[in-house]
Amino acid sequence: MSNKLLLPNRYKTIGWYIFIPATILGIILLFTDFESFPINAKVFAVFNEELLGKGGSFNIIQTNITPTVVGILFIMGAMLVSFSREKTEDEFIARLRQSSLLWAVFVNYVLLLIAFAFIYGMAFLDVMIYNMFTILIIFIIRFNYILYRNSKEMPNEKYNQSAASY
């Protein structure tokens, strides 16, 4: 499988440094109705629609940009973690990546189906917020968990044991 879309391995570490703090901030935001650490700033909005009152498009608006910043950092971090090469990105890792992506999309939509059937009203808005990030989250968990589990199953090899046989 060609993996021209993947970044070099070092971006995975950078990704973790962005992804983990962004996850923590994101969780805090979710539990505080997106009102903690507000940063008010003027931003350019391609499209803006207020619940009550006027909206507009292609204008500068004043708003709390904390959810925007945290969301962008989260997605960037998660993408770096997901789409960077492993140290040795070989065919086995490529297959694991493929199967984890399939798994993530599948689990994501099963969860969404359940949410569609059983969650109504404003609560569904929360489902939509979570759902923006679940594919990446499920992928990262599944891919890295299997890598970790496989590396734990490897027997401990003493390197010099075979060096003698040369």
Partner 1 sequence: MKNTIKVQRAIKGLTQEELAQKTSVSRQTINAMEANKYVPSTVLALKIAKVFNIPVEELFILEKND
Site string for partner 1, 30-69 (x = CB under 8 A): ----------------------------------------
Site string for partner 1, 76-115 (x = CB under 8 A): ----------xxx-xxxx-x--------------------
Residue 8 contacts partner 1 per CB under 8 A:
no
Name residues whose C-beta falls within 8 Å of residue 71's C-beta, 6 or more positions apart in sequence.
26, 132
Distance from C-alpha of 132 to C-alpha of 125, rounded to nearest angstrom: 11
Distance from C-alpha of 84 to C-alpha of 9, rounded to nearest angstrom: 5
- Cβ of residue 56: shortest distance to partner 1, in angstroms? 53
Number of Cβ within 10 Å of residue 29's Cβ equals 18
Tell me the number of residues near partner 1 by CB under 8 A.
Answer: 21
> In terms of CB distance, is 92 or 130 closer to partner 1?
92
- Cβ of residue 12: shortest distance to partner 1, in angstroms? 14
**Stretch of residues binding partner 1 (CB under 8 A), selected from 3-11, 34-42, 59-67, 150-158:** 150-158
Residue 120 contacts partner 1 per CB under 8 A:
no
Beta bridge mates, 44: 60
Structure tokens at 91: 């065919």
Name residues whose C-beta falls within 8 Å of residue 69's C-beta, 6 or more positions apart in sequence.
39
Most distant CA pair in the chain: distance in Å? 80
Beta bridge mates, 166: none
Residue 156 contacts partner 1 per CB under 8 A:
no
Structure tokens at 33: 């109705």
| Sites of contact with partner 1 (CB under 8 A) | 86-88, 90-93, 95, 147, 150-151, 153-155, 157, 159, 161-162, 164-166
